[in-house]
Amino acid sequence: MKKLFFILVGLCFILITNISAKVVDDWEYNATEVYKESMVMPSGAVAYSPIPMPSPLAKSAGNIGLSVGGAKDANNFKENIQNGYLPKINSITYEGVFYGHFFDTALKGECKELFCPSYNSTTKINPFTKNKEIFLSVGLNSDIKQSEFKRKKLNLVIVLDISGSMGSGFDSYYYDGKEKDKEHKTKIQIANESIVAMLSHLKGSDREGMILFDDGAYRALKLKSVGERDQEKVKKHILDITDRGGTNWSAGYKAGLELFDNMPKDSDYENRIIFLTDAMPNTGELDKDGLFGMAKDASERGIHTTFVGIGVDFNNDLVEYVSKIKGANYHSVHSSEKFSKLLDDEFEYMVTPLVYDLSLKLDGDAYSIAGVYGSPEANMATGEIMKVNTLFPSKATDEATKGGVILLKLNKNDRVDNQNIKLIANYKDVNGKSHTNEQNVYLTDSQNSGIQKAILLSDYVSLMKNWLIDTRASCNDKPKWIYEKPVVLEKRIFIYPPLHPMYPFVSEWERGSCNLNVSKNYKEVFNKFANYYKLEMNKINDKSLNEELEIINLLEKSKETNPNQDDWEMKK
């Protein structure tokens, strides 16, 4: 018996030794070295095809919902206002605000398809123009049970911006030139902590890789199974990363794509780049169409992108444009703690697109589409057709779906007396198979809370966008030239070297701050809208709407800095 005991102990030791030998620390990045690999755009295709599978994470027997890609929050908009800064125009989007709320999608009956659009209609008096408007909501439903949903295994490449601007305070603008508040974390610290939180959601069968970029790009981790790495050491390396150099976005993205080059074609894996940045590139490819083209080419290879914006000076205007591609979405990090909670709740959804190339056609002469709210592809809509590149899974209860609605404003042809319309939805699943859903809808004056909430929030976003368009017209947010202190050489009567700017060139994406500015005219508009908003919010009876009301009240009570600003004009 004693001999058997020692044999078992020996076998356990051998087993543990073998397992330990497979777990390695293969971190490659060394900040003291200049490590640059070729940045050639890879060729070929990587297979992609997500399939819902049974999941132990399910918390109810209901179905999941769906939401659109693009912006997944309006955090940057709120964070700027709360810190006394004027937000950028694209820091607030309809889909980003919608995703902060749950909507009754007005689904009648049982959904038996991957995507089941549900429709609801109503009329409202516009609070600004006083015109009567007709709205149609598109509810985003799916037949996938929460108990059956599970993300696919991941080929996940993290691309981290380590440029000098990432070393500035999380709640300040790098190009303001102010010293960092040592009591608050820097953007690079928040980014590092967010990545560590993200890694905790990976499984042993997932593969992870990592690229860091400043003026160039540096491989930190090749794409390799998580189970083969010492994850604790990986996390420690990540938390030790510091900022340096310029911002070559294109070099970082291309290097991230290169990690997929030698990956075998495997339909069991979803391929995704998670790109963390403050989105202020100043070297390499700077044209937004060029940056969009790189992400688009990657999408066509089956490699999709999630952008994570870091800091109050995160340039939403660039990321909002670049993320309008198939399979893309983006989040603005409010804090590493809140981002960690978001990952706990939604990481599976964030990396699993389900529906592509959705188009909705109005068939008939009685109505046409006048506007689309809640889709990043709203500008692609015509009078007859609405288009959406991607639908992602979304949290749902028995009553409502997070971000589960798109709102259409309709024009009525007065010469045609018909309340019936035919709606034809065409879309593709992740395997490329085409699907069609046709429904006849009779337009009514519904009091459904979902469509009422979508209209109220779209009015809120429209007002904020108009305020930003008018107010930022007088905002000079280009970084001011900061001059280095001269060096006075002994026994000389002149200064050498001469004064020269630290920032001799400023890219179109680099921004300084502008102070929060609400004119007298806009204060009056915000006051009137706040009263309207409270009335509608009470009718809907949804406390989550208080978040937007707090922003309205904050702007209404903010210090007036431009009393001569022109009157506001409704542009919705």
CATH assignment of the domain containing 344: 3.40.50.410
Residue 485 burial class via C-beta count within 10 angstroms: exposed 0-12, middle 13-18, buried 19 and up: exposed
Residue 278, pLDDT score:
96
Q: What angle do CA 555, 558, 563 make, to 5 degrees?
A: 100
Residue 440 in domain: yes
Residue type, 226: V
Q: Domain tally for the chain?
A: 2
Distance from C-alpha of 505 to C-alpha of 172, rounded to nearest angstrom: 21
Question: Shortest CA distance to 255 belongs to which of 212, 295, 290?
Answer: 212
- State whether 137 and 168 are in the same domain: no
Residue 269 in domain: yes
Q: Which of 33-37, 149-153, 254-258, 487-491 has the lowest mean pLDDT?
A: 33-37
Distance from C-alpha of 71 to C-alpha of 93, rounded to nearest angstrom: 7
- State whether 104 and 177 are in the same domain: no
Number of C-alpha atoms within 13 angstroms, CB side, residue 539?
15
DSSP string, 150-211: -PPEEEEEEEEE-SGGGGSBTTS-GGGTPPP-TTS-BHHHHHHHHHHHHHTT--TTSEEEEE
Q: Which of 39-48, 214-223, 434-443 has the lowest mean pLDDT?
A: 39-48
Residue 46 in domain: no
- State whether 178 and 196 are in the same domain: yes
Residue 2, pLDDT score:
56
Residue 138, pLDDT score:
98
Q: What percent of the chain has pLDDT over 70?
A: 83
- Between 278 and 493, name the one with better pLDDT: 278
Question: Shortest CA distance to 304 belongs to which of 289, 322, 326, 319?
Answer: 326
From 350, 383, 399, give the residue that closes a domain. 350
From 392, 414, 447, give the residue that closes a domain. 447
- As a whole number, mean pLDDT of residues 554-558 equals 92
Find the domain containing 430 and state its range: 96-145+363-447
From 424, 447, 470, give the residue that closes a domain. 447
User: How many C-beta neighbours within 10 Å does residue 427 have?
Assistant: 22
- State whether 337 and 274 are in the same domain: yes
- State whether 343 and 215 are in the same domain: yes
- As a whole number, mean pLDDT of residues 526-537 equals 97
What is the pLDDT of the chain when averaged over all its residues? 86
- State whether 295 and 404 are in the same domain: no
- The yes-or-no verdict on residue 277 having pLDDT over 50 is yes
Residue type, 315: N
The DSSP bridge pattern shows strands 269-277 and 70-71 to be unpaired
Strand partners, 373: 407
- Between 191 and 563, name the one with better pLDDT: 191
Residue 482, pLDDT score:
54
Helix/strand/coil percentages in the chain, nearest 5: 30, 25, 45
Residue 224 in domain: yes
- The yes-or-no verdict on residue 106 having pLDDT over 70 is yes
DSSP string, 390-406: EEEEE-B-SS-EET-EE
- State whether 212 and 342 are in the same domain: yes
- State whether 345 and 438 are in the same domain: no
- The yes-or-no verdict on residue 348 having pLDDT over 90 is yes
- State whether 244 and 194 are in the same domain: yes
Distance from C-alpha of 459 to C-alpha of 465, rounded to nearest angstrom: 10
Q: What angle do CA 361, 364, 366 make, to 5 degrees?
A: 120
**Residue-wise pLDDT tens digits, 473-487:** 999 998 865 554 444
- The answer to whether the beta carbons of residues 276 and 195 sit under 8 Å apart is yes
Distance from C-alpha of 327 to C-alpha of 304, rounded to nearest angstrom: 5
- As a whole number, mean pLDDT of residues 6-15 equals 55
- State whether 156 and 294 are in the same domain: yes
Q: What spatial distance separates the first Cα and last Cα of the chain, rounded to whole Å?
A: 84
Residue 428 in domain: yes
Residue 58, pLDDT score:
34
**Residue-wise pLDDT tens digits, 202-252:** 999 999 999 999 999 999 999 999 999 999 999 999 999 999 999 999 999
- State whether 199 and 277 are in the same domain: yes
Q: How many helices (H) and strands (E) does the chain have?
A: 12, 18
Residue 479, pLDDT score:
83
Residue type, 319: V
Residue 39 in domain: no
Distance from C-alpha of 82 to C-alpha of 86, rounded to nearest angstrom: 10
The DSSP bridge pattern shows strands 303-310 and 329-333 to be parallel
Question: Sign of the C-alpha dihedral, residues 482, 476, 321, 529?
Answer: positive
Residue 434 in domain: yes
**Which of 223-228's residues contact partners 24+ apart within 8 Å by CB, and which partners?**
223/155, 223/157, 223/259, 223/260, 223/262, 223/263, 224/26, 226/199, 226/202, 227/22, 227/23, 228/22, 228/23, 228/24
- State whether 345 and 224 are in the same domain: yes
Residue 65 in domain: no
Which residues make Cβ contacts (< 8 Å) with residue 289, sequence separation at least 6?
A: none
pLDDT confidence of 379, banded at 50, 70, 90?
A: confident
- SS3 assignment, position 450: helix
**Residue-wise pLDDT tens digits, 77-103:** 999 999 999 999 999 999 999 999 999
Distance from C-alpha of 248 to C-alpha of 263, rounded to nearest angstrom: 25
pTM: 0.87
As a whole number of angstroms, the longest Cα–Cα distance in the chain is 97
